[in-house]
Amino acid sequence: MLSDYLIAPSLNALFVTGLILLFIVILMVKNYKSIMRLNYYQQIMLLSSLTIAVGSHGLMHLGVEKQYNFNPYNWI
């Protein structure tokens, strides 16, 4: 079923960015104490970077849903 969708480069990019975001979240959970020891400016920069990554991933979802009628919530 998923192989039917993963043909277009935009869908592949969406899938890869989703995996990378999952990996980042896992790393942040595992290194929570180290992140809390960062100074305020570094924490803001880390949070800003994560926000940009999640936002761009969300915009990719918007484009893919419109172009290919791809909505992963329909799988549930």
Q: Print the domain residue range for 60.
A: 9-71
Q: What is the pLDDT of residue 60?
A: 87
Domain count, the chain: 1
Full pLDDT tens readout for the chain, 76 residues: 566 656 677 778 888 899 999 999 999 999 999 999 999 999 999 999 999 999 999 898 888 888 888 777 777 7
DSSP class per residue in the chain: -HHHHTTSHHHHHHHHHHHHHHHHHHHHHHTHHHHHTS-HHHHHHHHHHHHHHHHHHHHHHHHHHHHH---GGGG-
Q: What is the pLDDT of residue 43?
A: 95
Q: What is the pLDDT of residue 69?
A: 81
- How far apart are the C-alpha atoms of 71 and 33, rounded to whole Å? 36
Q: What is the pLDDT of residue 52?
A: 94
In-domain check, residue 76: no
Task: List the structure tokens of 71.
Answer: 């909505």
In-domain check, residue 2: no
Q: What is the pLDDT of residue 1?
A: 58
In-domain check, residue 67: yes
